[in-house]
Amino acid sequence: MLVVDHFTASAQFPVGYILPVILAAWYSGKWPAVALAVAFPVLRLAFLAMSDQPNDLAAHALPTVLRGIVIIILALWFARLAEFERSLERRVKVLEGLVPICSFCKNIRNEAGEWERLEKYISRRSSAEFSHGVCPSCNEKHYAGVTS
């Protein structure tokens, strides 16, 4: 990539650097992406220093550093985005498909064909927890004559 970047000096921003940095940020995390984002400009400057025209090094140093800063910002942004997505995946478990539920008691038929309580079925397939109470209409219907 450095050789291609050197011979296509007309390109203002090395697009070929972005893809490896984004992939490193997404799959390996923040620090490998930042290391890669720092390594590309440093290697580019080293390549320019070893090339035929080392006196152009000063002219290329500032744009290379600015490119490096932009690439580092992109690396940090994509690493944060990847971590956010991973945290969402850890928090969300989805129940999918058709759930056979009894019309009367609300028990659910599991994969083994056995009927189990709704709370147990959902608790085993997600991180949801249940607390029980009595809604006002059921309280009036079932406990109308009971005083506390």
Q: What is the pTM of this model?
A: 0.58
Long-range contacts of 9-16 (CB under 8 A, 24+ apart): 12/63, 13/67, 13/70, 14/40, 14/44, 14/67
Confidence bin at 73 (pLDDT 50/70/90):
very high
Domain boundaries, the chain: 2-91, 93-131
Q: What is the pLDDT of residue 115?
A: 94
Confidence bin at 83 (pLDDT 50/70/90):
very high
Q: In whole numbers, what is the pLDDT of the chain averaged over residues?
A: 82
Instruction: Pull the structure tokens for residue 60.
Output: 């290329």
Tell which wins on pLDDT, 9 or 19: 19
- Given a cut of 90, is residue 63 above it in pLDDT? no
